[in-house]
Structures are given as structure tokens and as C-alpha cells.
Amino acid sequence: MTITHWTPINTRSTWNMINGLNRSFNTMLKPHTEQKTQLVDWRPAFDIRENDREYIFNADLPGLEKKDIHITVEDNVLTITGERQMISTDDQANNGFLRREINYGKFSRAFALDDKVNTEKIEAKFQNGILTLRVPRLKPVAPVATKIKIK
């Protein structure tokens, strides 16, 4: 008797089926999806790293200007909001676009901050479509021992 490994679903055929369905839907919906672009909420990518002095947030925000971005801190929650405006199009001619895949619209991202950060000294810089936030850590306070006299 030979023992063989049994897989209930053939992974390759499943992916082929999914890709085929995607192609079918794209072909069927092509005239509708490529003529109109809706404003939708989008979620820009953030990289967050830390060192012993600060947290550093980098956001990929191509096509935005400083005036399009708003940053607030409330109750140790860092919130970044903004909006990428869609290039106006003439519905009749569609301005020559064959396909529009860039997301437009409003976004909002919120990050809970540690209690050990100095929210008063957060720095923000926006250059070449990259937003960089530097959130400094508070310097650790050494515990002070207080001697108490007994009466």
C-alpha cells in the first residue's frame, strides 16, 4: 500500500480560477470602471520606527501639498488627516484617460502614542511627497528616594 499526501483543494487550480474570475469581471465592467472615477477614502502607507531619542513616522503622500495635510495630537493620539483632490475631468471626453487607478479623496490615520513622549515638541516636515514626523521621547526621570523621619 502506498501512502500519498492528500490536499483537499489544489492551490494552483484555485488561483487560476480566481484569476479567471478577475479577468472576466474586469472585461465585463471595463466600460463602466474606466469611464468614471469616484472619490473614495484612501489609506496612505506609514512606516514607523524608533530609536532611543524619538519615534519617526514616514508617510507616503504623493500629489499632496502642505496645505492638504492636517496634524493634531489629542489625549496622546496623533491624527493625520488630509485630502488628495482629483484632477477635474470632462465627463464627455474623460480627458484622455484610459485607466484611473490613483485613489483620491479624504484620509485619516490615528496612532496612539506612548505616555513617555513629548507631544509639545513634535516636528513635521513635508518634502517630495513624504511626510516625516519626529516624536521625541521624554528623558527618563530617575526615581528620587525621600527619607521619612519617624516621630
CA 38 to each of CA 33, 62, 96: distance values in angstroms, whole numbers, following the listed order? 9, 18, 17
Number of domains making up the chain: 1
All 3 cell numbers of residue 30? 471595463
- The parent domain of residue 91 ranges over 46-136
Distance, in Å, from the CA atom of 37 to the CA atom of 39, rounded to the nearest integer, reads: 7
CA 78 to chain centre: 13
Residue 107, in any domain of the structure: yes
Range with the poorest average pLDDT among 31-40, 63-72, 108-117: 31-40
All 3 cell numbers of residue 85? 483632490
**Tens digit of each residue's pLDDT (9 = 90 or more) over 3-42:** 555 555 555 566 667 777 776 666 665 554 444 444 556 7
Residue 145, in any domain of the structure: no
Buried b / exposed e over 109-121, threshold 16 CB at 10 Å, is eebebeeebeeee
The CATH number covering residue 131 comes to: 2.60.40.790
Residue 41, in any domain of the structure: no
Residue 52, in any domain of the structure: yes
Residue 35, in any domain of the structure: no
**Tens digit of each residue's pLDDT (9 = 90 or more) over 128-142:** 999 999 999 998 878
Contact 58, 46 (CB under 8 A): yes
